[in-house]
């Protein structure tokens, strides 16, 4: 029923693989134990040990929580919005983005996605100016959508990773 493996599945997120790799012997041992036959009449109702599966599950979920906490400390989601909006302000100041582009990013951050029909209202401008702003943000690789009529979603471009998430992707220093 539970097939043990000694290698980490490729589908696991990198941070979880990191967490399991830090305790690889315990991971392998508990995973193998989940394949053991039940120990007594109180250890599950099928042929495999429910206690061992529960121990592995507890270990695995603890590793998940540990790595989620670790990633949160690196990404600092409470400060992410401020870093993105600061980037937008600086890009506006140097003429790389139209004025009020930050308002669109802020709306997308707050809502998760933003229908294109609401852009002009968010900006307090004409529809044409709204399209121009969206085009500039899409061109910079920070917004995307499925089609020309689909809602806009935030993208985290690799080029901006050190700026938007500096603890997760620190700038490279001289070699």
The model's pLDDT over 15-41, given as tens digits with 9 standing for 90+, comes to 788 888 889 999 999 988 887 777 766
Asked whether residue 120 is domain-assigned, the answer is: yes
Given pLDDT bands bounded at 50, 70 and 90, which one contains residue 142? Answer: very high
Q: Is the pLDDT of residue 73 over 90?
A: no
In DSSP terms, 114 is beta-bridged to: 152
Any domain includes 23: yes
d(CA 119, CA 128): 10
Q: Confirm whether 125 is domain-assigned.
A: yes
Q: Check the CA dihedral 81-110-115-148 and report its sign.
A: positive
Report pLDDT for 10.
Answer: 46
* 127 lies in the same domain as 63: no
Does 93 share its domain with 67? no
User: In sequence order, what are the residues at sequence separation of 6 or more whose Cβ sits closer than 8 angstroms to the Cβ of residue 108?
Assistant: 114, 143, 152, 153, 154
* Among the listed residues 157, 68, 152, the one whose alpha carbon sits nearest the alpha carbon of residue 110: 152
Q: Of 41-45, 49-53, 65-69, which one has max mean pLDDT?
A: 65-69
Mean pLDDT to the nearest integer, 54-75: 89
Instruction: Tell whether 110 and 51 lie within a shared domain.
Output: no
pLDDT band at 141 (very low <50, low <70, confident <90, very high): very high
State residue 121's pLDDT score.
Answer: 95
The answer to whether residues 102 and 81 belong to one domain is: yes
Residues 157 and 111 in one domain: yes
CATH code of the domain containing 140: 1.10.10.10
Region 4-10: mean pLDDT is 44
What is the reported pTM?
0.68
Instruction: Band the pLDDT of 175: cuts 50, 70, 90.
Output: low
107 and 83 in a common domain: yes
Q: Total domain count for the chain? A: 2
Whether residue 81 sits in one domain with residue 64: no
pLDDT of 51 over the 60 cut: yes
Mean pLDDT, the chain, integer: 85
| Domain final residue, candidates 48, 75, 102 | 75
Q: Tell me the two tokens of residue 155.
A: 């993208």
Query: Could you give phi then psi for residue 171, rounded to 5 degrees?
Result: -60, 145
Q: Which of these three, 75, 94, 110, is where a domain ends?
A: 75
pLDDT of residue 169: 78
Residues 86 and 156 in one domain: yes
In whole angstroms, give the CA distance from residue 99 to residue 78.
25
| CA pair distance 133, 97, nearest whole angstrom | 7
Residues 84 and 157 in one domain: yes
Tell me how many degrees the CA angle 168-171-173 measures, rounded to the nearest 5: 135
The span from the CA of 32 to the CA of 40, in Å, is 18
Domain termination residue (choose one: 29, 57, 75): 75
Banded model confidence at residue 42, pLDDT cuts 50, 70, 90? low
Domain holding 35, by residue range, is 14-75
């Amino acid at each position: 029923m539970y097939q043990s493996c000694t290698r980490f599945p490729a589908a696991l997120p990198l941070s979880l693989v990191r967490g399991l790799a830090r305790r690889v012997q315990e991971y392998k041992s508990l995973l193998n134990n989940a394949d053991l036959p039940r120990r007594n009449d109180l250890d599950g109702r099928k042929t495999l040990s429910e206690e061992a599966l529960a121990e592995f599950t507890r270990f695995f979920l603890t590793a998940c929580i540990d790595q989620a906490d670790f990633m949160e400390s690196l990404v600092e989601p409470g400060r992410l919005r401020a870093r993105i909006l600061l980037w937008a302000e600086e890009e506006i100041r140097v003429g790389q983005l139209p004025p009020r582009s930050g308002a669109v990013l802020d709306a997308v951050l707050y809502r998760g996605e933003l229908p294109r029909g609401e852009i002009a209202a968010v900006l307090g401008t004409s529809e044409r100016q709204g399209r121009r702003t969206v085009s500039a943000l899409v061109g910079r690789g920070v917004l995307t959508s499925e089609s020309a009529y689909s809602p806009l979603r935030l993208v985290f471009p690799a080029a901006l990773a050190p700026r938007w998430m500096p603890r997760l992707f620190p700038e490279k220093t001289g070699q």
